[in-house]
Chains A and B, each alone.
Chain A
Amino acid sequence: MPVETTAPPVTLSKDEILRYSRHLIMPEVGMEGQLKLKNASVLLVGTGGLGAPLGLYLAAAGIGRIGLVDFDVVDFTNLQRQVIHGTKDVGRKKLDSAADRMADINPFVQIDRHEVALTSENALDIIKQYDIIVDGTDNFPTRYLVNDACVLTGKPNVYGSIFRFEGQATVFAYEGGPCYRCLYPEPPPPGLVPSCAEGGVLGILPGLIGMVQATETVKLIMGIGEPLNGRLLRYDALEMKFREYKLRRDPECPVCGDNPTIHELIDYHQFCGVPQGQMEDAKPIEGDIEATEVKQKIDRGDRFVLIDVREPHEYQICRIPQAKLIPLGELPKRVSELDTADEIIAHCKSGARSAKAVDFLKQAGFKKVRNMKGGILAWSDKVDPTVPKY
């Protein structure tokens, strides 16, 4: 009779032993820890800023099976931070680009490609297939979806998020610990989320936060050290400071509390106040003017004032020569620079801020004021391709 053993049913090959030798010679990892990594499965939700360093290092570390969820295509604006993708990958599916790079780093890793947007319909099925879930998404609806799905399936959720120069990281839903809803019961309404004027991210930042997530993932698998659950780690790149806050399970939490009211996945776009599709489809506004019409008016020598309501640092990137820069935030105090008798056309980067400027001016008594549809991006596409897009 063979002796029953609880040891994992895999061993390391000679090539693997050589590859992982710097792990194997540390007693804290050793053969036992490396086999735990090989036996483990991790799901990376997103292969963007956070997912890129996670994919590289978790593959290198020798996680046995890594699932990737993404449906996006690599574009040039990704390359400033998504280091798993290269210039040659622009236009390819992020899944293929990331999987190729990870397979090159470590052919011993099995990579599952989930070419979908994570939704309430598919999340539980996908998440069930993995031991640990790593949240590398960039939006509130998916973050609440990942959270609830992890709580409902009992999977730890290694969380990281970034904005400009600061990041947050923790481990949710680990051994009955607090979840994302315990930290933040609700997302900000869309109106309070920073617009593109205040957005952006230091390209290196997701590297650092992604590394915190990768470290926590590997620690959870090997069962070593002090995991981040119960602590919110906050990082400020400009100050170069890490701060830590206590994070508790909320007994009133609707999903992981003592009397949960959420037992299945809900509509997360509705929960976050973002109707599906709203992000992509700017709704046409009465009186919008096309960039090409604005160009015709300039060429005809029509009398009108073109105002650019972007920020000065955006004006430095590119501009329409005839435009006068009045950042949206300064418009109220600089409104006297404009004449209600003039025809006014406002533009910004893509049309959202200039729509607000038009609303403001109309309320201030301006009658002949219109929004240039699609902003300077449309100008670059339809009028002057030498104007760079950003």
Chain B
Amino acid sequence: MPRGHHDVGGLPGAGPIDQSEHELSDWEILADAINQALGAKGVKRTDEMRRAREEMDSAAYRDMTYYERWIASIEAILIEKKILNKQEIDRKLAEFDSKWGEP
């Protein structure tokens, strides 16, 4: 087992940590709300979300922002628990895209 892509503590060459704050986008706040709601309903636990992030494709993990990883983890766990399936999610995304997506 190689060192996990999430487990970067102590690696040389990482440089200083960017501690600047940024304004949250609406979708990031929504990501947090969905996460909280699923937790409150007992659908998933924080540890499952962490495991989902660890199991992602490493290149995808590195390319994603913080809340993108949250959303991808939620999707993976909901599919794993058979609450949603990939086709349903993709269909809904296509629907949103045709309604509000960039032309």
Bind each other: no
